Amino acid sequence: MKKRRIALGMAAVLTASALAACGGAKKDETKAETEKTEAKTKEATEEASEKAEEAADEDLKAELKLATYPIGKWGDEATVAKLLENFNKKYPDVQVTVEYLDYQNGDDQVNTAIEGKAAPDLIMEGPERLVANWGAKGFMVDLKDIFEDEASSDINANVKTACMSSDGKYYEYPLAMTAHCMGINKAIFEKADALQYIDEKNHTWTTENFFKAVEAIQKSGQDNVLAVYCAGQGGDQGTRALVNNLYSGSYTNKEHTEYTAASPENAKALEELKKTKGVNFDSGIVGGDEITLFRNGTLAMSLCWNSVQQNNADNGEAGKTNNGDEIIPMLFPTDDGKTELCGGIWGFGIFDNGDENKIKAAKAFIRFMCNDETQAKLSVQTTGFFPVHEKLSGVYDGTDNAETMSLFAEKFMPSFGDYYQVTPGWATARTEWWNMLQRVGQGGDAMTELETFQKNANAAAKS
């Protein structure tokens, strides 16, 4: 009897436990269902809010002026017109007129427009202008809200940092990026037996082999091997990269607060270049002129090269000079095996002209061109460079440039160096750089001239 009572007691306990467990399970299920419902409700609310916002944006009416530098085919009127057609399919009442700038006079044109209270609404260029110059002077709109969009979550971290000012404001929203490099004429190198000095598979060479190649080519009868062009700032990323990489020098500190180019490493690089036959400091040309001389065979090397130049077919087959010589893109020579290529970042900024409706329409333009899944690929293709969105893949699949872009993505983009172009006083520093190169080319002592550069550039940085 006692055993039966114990058994009945145990059964009761087990039954109670089972009921309790069942009740607990039901509570967990109810909680899970509630959370699931709440998540769906939140998602639906956010989706409805986004659709409402998009619908409101699509009702925008505004007349905008876009100023664009010649970034790939963003400087080509017919190409840009097609991009604007796409934009107007979604925003039919936002009319965009375009002013096409060049690098010779573009900055002056924009500065004059700012002074005359007639700045463009939108502008396309890089952080050195939009962030470090016009943004730092208080002329640009903070684009932080666009960076907070879900569509902005995969932007390359280094690029995002470069678009932000020292006080945490975003004056540029990026579209594309690249790493600038060198180009060499394969036929001239073959004639001089100088191909032995490059690693053609990896597109690399050492500082020692670079100078051996220059010597061999000069002795073969090619007096103009390389031009250190310095008539102005055009293409100055090439001269900076050459000087900084030869003996592992630097241009600014890591914090981008001051210029540090006056170093023994950079002085050595300049002195070696100056005394090397075949290397000419040319105060009569800038980067664009150097490219022309390289393409027509006057020069054996170019410091002003990138994927756009490699794909250029204006004067003949892409990847070849005007007379059909193969062009091999190369990393800059370095003494430590770690080339740091000067990078380019291009995107959009908005001038604060005091019209909130225009600012809203301009932001819609940026979101469409940079973040619309279909349009962003076309926008990047038009630059000829690479997407800043890490998830935006296959941009050049099926295009004539696919093979070249794959090469640059594999061999050159990983060497994208520190983006120091946002250092304060950048505009002055660029002028001081080419003036310094001119003085060195005229016989000035490299360290003395670098110290003058650094002093004047840092004074501008602090002003």
Mean pLDDT on 62-78: 96
pLDDT for 270 beyond 70: yes
Q: Is domain 58-179+343-410 given the CATH code 3.40.190.10 in the classification?
A: yes
pLDDT of res. 36: 65
What mean pLDDT comes out for the span 217-223? 97
| Nearest C-alpha neighbor of 226 from the set 131, 170, 300, 149 | 300
**Cβ-proximal residues to 403 (8 Å cutoff; 6+ apart), any chain:** none
Residue-wise pLDDT for 95-142, tens only, equals 999 999 998 899 999 999 999 999 999 999 999 999 999 999 999 999
Q: Look at residue 11 and tell me whether its pLDDT is greater than 70.
A: no
pLDDT in tens, 158-176: 899 999 998 899 999 999 9
**For the chain, what is the total number of helices (H) and then of strands (E)?**
17, 11
Give the model's pLDDT for residue 166.
85
Mean pLDDT, rounded, of the chain: 90
Percent of the chain predicted with pLDDT > 70: 87
Architecture of domain 181-340+425-462: 3-Layer(aba) Sandwich (3.40)
Is the model's pLDDT at 152 over the cut of 60? yes
Q: What is the pTM of this model?
A: 0.80
Phi-psi region of 141 (alpha: psi -120 to 50; beta: other; left: phi over 0): beta
Which position has the token pair 């001269």?
Answer: 239
DSSP 137: T
Least confident of 6-20, 25-39, 55-69, 213-227: 6-20
Each residue of 27-38: b (16+ CB within 10 Å) or e? eeeeeeeeeeee
Start-end ranges of CATH 3.40.190.10 in the chain? 58-179+343-410, 181-340+425-462
Taking residue 407's Cβ as centre, other Cβ atoms within 10 Å add up to 15
